[in-house]
Structure 1
Amino acid sequence: MRVSTRDRTASFPTGFNSLTLALFGYLSLWQTGAQQQSGLLHYIHTQLLNRTFTVGQANLPLYQANGFDMALLIPYFVVLGILAGYGFHRYSLVFLYYKYRKRETREPAHRFADLPVVTVQLPIYNEQFVVERLVESICKLDYPRDRLEIQLLDDSTDETQLVARAAVERAAAAGAPITYIHRTNRSGFKAGALDAGMKVARGELIAIFDADFVPPADFLRQTVDYFTDPKLGMVQTRWGYINRDYSWLTRVEAILLDGHFVMEHGGRHRADLYFNFNGTAGVWRRQAIGEAGGWQHDTLTEDTDLSYRAQLCGWKFTYLPHVVCPSELPVDMNAFKVQQARWAKGLIQVSKKILPRLLRRKDVDAHHKIEAWCHLTNNISYPLMILLCALLLPAMIVRFYQGWFQMLYIDLPLFIASTCSISSFYLASQRELYPRKWFSTLFYIPMVMAIGIGLTVTNSRAVMEALLGIKSSFKRTPKFHIESRADEQASVVKKKKYKRKVGWSPVIELVLGCVFLAVTVYAWQMENYLTIPFVLLFVVGYFTTGFLSIFQGRFPRRRAAAVVAPPEEVPAASLASR
């Protein structure tokens, strides 16, 4: 078969979302039995739930559910079982990562005697604050100038055009082989820009970087020689994070992406399974793009779409975890939610487009098909989470007086599938990257889970839009050139530049936070103390995403004093655009 790739749609992992729900259902069984001796719950207990059966000499309680109970419990366990299945999938990725660790790609088998021509494409859209940094870093790439071509593909509609032109003119005057290409219609969004650039590119290999990336100078030296393998179609490198320690939110984002790049990419690549290009920090063979049908813009994750089409054409992919390309993480909750929703919607769109074709292929084995299914449909967990939230409290009440026997054969397997897969997945990735300080990640795991829960509202909407075929534009993730706390004051003025309408999702998140706060009170009154820490994850998750979205979207911090200088005026004449 072939190797493969996984995308920038590293959409937020959803397997851990089932963790707290499974824990909630699991721990709700541990009741004292002496809690309510009167009232409706006591009546339900004595008249409906107090059934026993005999095992040897022991009488064990066995819950005989009526029709109403079953109407609640069947969908509850079906949904929880699906979520637990995705939890087991995370176990499989960790297993594959360690099972095939000797297959790690380190050095290319051969070296080019005559280096190929490389075209570096830089697709941007309204990136006023980071485009200069991008151009400067790309022009520092260590590669023969006669074999390097740089395209700044600008679809911007604001002052970014002036900033970008000026940056390109300065670089070109210094001898960099760079051209500025501006489109006015933005047809096909990022995929359309890349396709337009390819039509005039002269490179055999195409390297792609988004505006928030700062590749190391030796990036091409570390990646190009792998293409001495004529069957290799794409090389993906690992992302690093310039502003990882900027805030607790950026630390959470970094942990999530580390899990994707270490365990998901690493496990799939080592096991020779399909994985995807992440949209940036990678190099393509131009021939592979062409044979796969080129860049297509009928999904929001054109990178994953092209990745699967290329691999189905027989092209191999390789992943280089030791080559790290620094990038800037979103520092704003609204920007983070926009990014995650785009990735969630895009993957479901790709699943609808690619899976029917892939599943019918007789030359693709079952392992590849199962892994592709789990990869591309994983985000269906988000609307299932919303459904499970609606069923949670009624199911908890119905099962309040169930005994330990039901717990052992129903809840315990779901608990193990949903719980340990999360901690093992992210802790294993941190241990691989930071063997001496990975233990500190433990303090962020609860917040990772809480934020994942908080994203269910916006991501569920995105998934449902994809399932219903509702189209939407490519919503970029704003970048502000914020690398440390030293950039904080100027960042407030910058954020006003690309501020979006908050919408109703934060209100829904706050309502859900209040609902789970009421559930917490109910659990306390029922003396179900063991469930409270896990229910609080829902409270924290929904309140955090809701309040931060409103606060950062409507009330920028007043302590900002810096003013961002307007872009330098430059002549409107474009550089030699081809």
Structure 2
Amino acid sequence: MILEWICIVIYSASLLMILFYSFSQLNLLINYLKAQKKNKQATVSVQQTDDLPYVTIQLPVFNELYVMERLLDNMAFLEYPKDKLEIQVLDDSTDESVEITALKVKKLQELGFDVSHIQRENRTSYKAGALKEGLKIAKGDFIAIFDADFLPEADWLLKTIGHFKNPKVGVVQTRWSHLNRDYSILTQVQAFALDAHFTLEQVGRNSKGHFINFNGTAGIWRKQTIFDAGNWQGDTLTEDLDLSYRAQLKNWKFVYLEDVTTPAELPMVISAARSQQFRWNKGGAENFQKMFRKVLSSKNLSFKTKFHGILHLLNSTMFLNVLIVAILSIPMLYIKNEYEHLRIYFIVMSFFVISTIIFFICYWFMYRNIYGGGFKNFVTYIGMFFTFFSIAMGFSLHNSIAVIEGHLGKRSEFVRTPKFNLAAVGSNWKTNKYLRKKVSPNVIIEGLLMLYFMFGLYSAFIVGDQGGDFGLFPFHLMLVIGFGFVFFSSLTDKQ
């Protein structure tokens, strides 16, 4: 019975963590809806004829053969006085893209743009190191940052720079939109998750003065804020989240603009999604270890801001809790039906159902805001939600490994996400030289977990003495679908 109680305690603790997180999402939904009723964060637009500040655009890139020309062409279309604009191409590349970039930079220089091609001898601190290196010679008092696949609208700077008239504003972050949202189930699920972050979470936190994060791109910093917060640091894989928290602990204000969108490319193959998810989730855990004591000990923060800040930093750790609940759910099914006196306890502990309902409600408001309401859209949403939920659980092993490494302080390389430029290469994207061809050993475990949860489906029919127990059947079905999708996609894409 000792082993059974150990399972019950661990299972219950993980369920409680998921429940607390769902309650925080519900609170963010309430904040979001209140913000929608009030005036949205007004875009402070300015004109090119105004007295505009000097802006430096930083473009941190590494081996971006397929998107460099598109990126630099896009920068040339930005509506901002040339004499007030500097473009830094922070190029850590080691392949032929260096020559292509150099030629493009030269052409822009001939057109009168102040653009420099900055290369380092090594990738010390990866993206954080490149940004820090460029900052040493940046001419602008404001630093806009774009990853290689981001294509801001021509008036992006004019819509964002005006917010810095408030001297307390340190960062303006804009919402990501997606160039290839409908390419596949994988891109649809990623878009669904990111849309929830960039509407529900960012607005829900920002509207009440809670900590939000600069998302690494499609935002602009006051240079003074970066220096005041301690500059870019490369000791985590999510340097953007790290600097965001350090800046807000220094009382700098962040402005989030939901209505200003910056289109970008979603990872199209599962290996690219894996590398991105690993970096984000491990970096989140690393930042929890680095920041949670500072957040809790801050005398300037309210209890609610601390609560949301800690759960924000623990965001990636939810994958570990989901994996624990999933793996233990089958032993728990047998324990429940073996020990009659524990049945009431299991009814009380049905937190996962409550959490799922809360997530379903929260994400519906996000989905409705983007696509509109109505019965047809609601039916489509139901399918999208359960597809998202299933595939997210299918990634739980991969992301949990990243989270554990992050909490344990294991260092790893910053692995870039391959870009494709689908509009240009079309069906030839499979020849992308940056795609990983080796299957991760974890894929085998994901396949075994698919079989394990198939056993969970079978168990529903045979446990107990009253014709089975189907309470966990939908949960196990989603796990089979999720791990099956990740397993077979990994094999068929040969990534």
TM range (shorter): over 0.9
Q: Pick one of 486, 491, 508 that aligns with 2:429.
A: 491
Q: Pick one of 445, 456, 461 that aligns with 1:519.
A: 456
User: Which position in structure 2 is the counterpart of 1:129?
Assistant: 66
Higher mean alpha-carbon deviation, 114-123 vs 177-186, is at: 177-186
Q: Pick one of 245, 256, 262 that aligns with 1:308.
A: 245
SS class of match (1:319): strand
User: Which position in structure 1 is the counterpart of 2:487?
Assistant: 546
Relative to structure 1, the CA distance from residue 409 to residue 490 in structure 2 (aligned partners, 3 Å threshold; closer, same or farther) is closer
Matches within 5 A, 1:432-447: 432-436=369-373, 438-439=377-378, 440-447=380-387
How large is the Cα RMSD of the aligned pairs? Answer: 2.0
Alpha-carbon shift at residue 434 of structure 1 (Å)? 2.0
1:513, 1:543 within 8 Å by CA — same for their partners in 2? yes
Runs of 4+ in 1 over 4 A off after TM superposition: 109-113, 401-405
1:455, 1:545 within 8 Å by CA — same for their partners in 2? yes
User: Which position in structure 2 is the counterpart of 1:88?
Assistant: 23
2:287, 2:313 within 8 Å by CA — same for their partners in 1? yes
1:110, 1:226 within 8 Å by CA — same for their partners in 2? no
Relative to structure 1, the CA distance from residue 405 to residue 472 in structure 2 (aligned partners, 3 Å threshold; closer, same or farther) is closer
- Once the two structures are superposed, residues 29-50 of structure 1 have per-residue CA deviations (whole angstroms, 9 ceiling, x without a partner) of xxxxxxxxxxxxxxxxxxxxxx
1:430, 1:441 within 8 Å by CA — same for their partners in 2? yes
Q: Pick one of 296, 306, 320 that aligns with 2:233.
A: 296
Following the alignment from structure 2 to structure 1, what is the Cα–Cα distance between the partners of residues 318 and 237?
19
Relative to structure 1, the CA distance from residue 127 to residue 231 in structure 2 (aligned partners, 3 Å threshold; closer, same or farther) is same
User: Which position in structure 2 is the counterpart of 1:318?
Assistant: 255
Following the alignment from structure 1 to structure 2, what is the Cα–Cα distance between the partners of residues 408 and 424?
24
Following the alignment from structure 1 to structure 2, what is the Cα–Cα distance between the partners of residues 260 and 177?
35
Relative to structure 1, the CA distance from residue 245 to residue 158 in structure 2 (aligned partners, 3 Å threshold; closer, same or farther) is same
Alpha-carbon shift at residue 110 of structure 1 (Å)? 8.6
1:155 aligns to 2:95 (yes or no): no
Relative to structure 1, the CA distance from residue 359 to residue 144 in structure 2 (aligned partners, 3 Å threshold; closer, same or farther) is same
- Once the two structures are superposed, residues 477-503 of structure 1 have per-residue CA deviations (whole angstroms, 9 ceiling, x without a partner) of 1111124xx844211111x44325322
- Choose between structure 1 and 2 for higher RCO, CA contacts under 8 A separated by at least 6 residues: 1
1:360 aligns to 2:303 (yes or no): no
* TM-score using structure 2 length: 0.93
Higher mean alpha-carbon deviation, 431-440 vs 187-196, is at: 431-440
User: Which position in structure 1 is the counterpart of 2:404?
Assistant: 464
Following the alignment from structure 2 to structure 1, what is the Cα–Cα distance between the partners of residues 20 and 453?
25
Amino acid at match of 2:404: M
1:85, 1:417 within 8 Å by CA — same for their partners in 2? no
Amino acid at match of 1:276: N
User: Which position in structure 1 is the counterpart of 2:44?
Assistant: 108
Matches within 5 A, 1:363-442: 363-400=300-337, 402=340, 406=344, 410-412=348-350, 414-436=351-373, 438-439=377-378, 440-442=380-382
User: Which position in structure 2 is the counterpart of 1:71?
Assistant: 6
Amino acid at match of 1:114: D
Higher mean alpha-carbon deviation, 179-188 vs 286-295, is at: 179-188
Percent of pairs identical after alignment?
A: 38
2:142, 2:223 within 8 Å by CA — same for their partners in 1? yes
Relative to structure 1, the CA distance from residue 404 to residue 462 in structure 2 (aligned partners, 3 Å threshold; closer, same or farther) is closer
Matches within 5 A, 1:5-44: none
SS class of match (1:400): helix
**Which of the pair has more CA radius of gyration?**
1
1:128, 1:159 within 8 Å by CA — same for their partners in 2? yes
1:457, 1:509 within 8 Å by CA — same for their partners in 2? yes
Following the alignment from structure 1 to structure 2, what is the Cα–Cα distance between the partners of residues 531 and 347?
30
Following the alignment from structure 2 to structure 1, what is the Cα–Cα distance between the partners of residues 333 and 29?
32
Following the alignment from structure 2 to structure 1, what is the Cα–Cα distance between the partners of residues 29 and 108?
44
- Once the two structures are superposed, residues 241-279 of structure 1 have per-residue CA deviations (whole angstroms, 9 ceiling, x without a partner) of 011111111111111000000000010011111101000
- Once the two structures are superposed, residues 381-439 of structure 1 have per-residue CA deviations (whole angstroms, 9 ceiling, x without a partner) of 22233332332211111112658972686134x14531112212221111112225743
User: Which position in structure 2 is the counterpart of 1:272?
Assistant: 209
* TM-score using structure 1 length: 0.80
- Once the two structures are superposed, residues 515-550 of structure 1 have per-residue CA deviations (whole angstroms, 9 ceiling, x without a partner) of 111111121344434543331111111111111112
Amino acid at match of 1:462: A
SS class of match (2:422): coil
Unaligned runs of 5+ in 1: 1-65, 555-578
- Once the two structures are superposed, residues 47-103 of structure 1 have per-residue CA deviations (whole angstroms, 9 ceiling, x without a partner) of xxxxxxxxxxxxxxxxxxx54543332222222222222122211111121134315
Following the alignment from structure 1 to structure 2, what is the Cα–Cα distance between the partners of residues 244 and 331?
10
2:67, 2:149 within 8 Å by CA — same for their partners in 1? yes
Q: How many residues align?
A: 485
Amino acid at match of 1:335: A
Unaligned runs of 5+ in 2: none
User: Which position in structure 1 is the counterpart of 2:443?
Assistant: 506
SS class of match (1:283): strand
- Once the two structures are superposed, residues 270-295 of structure 1 have per-residue CA deviations (whole angstroms, 9 ceiling, x without a partner) of 11111010000001001111111111
- Once the two structures are superposed, residues 100-136 of structure 1 have per-residue CA deviations (whole angstroms, 9 ceiling, x without a partner) of 4315211339989410000000000011001111101
User: Which position in structure 2 is the counterpart of 1:474?
Assistant: 414
1:239, 1:281 within 8 Å by CA — same for their partners in 2? yes
SS class of match (1:326): strand
Alpha-carbon shift at residue 192 of structure 1 (Å)? 0.6
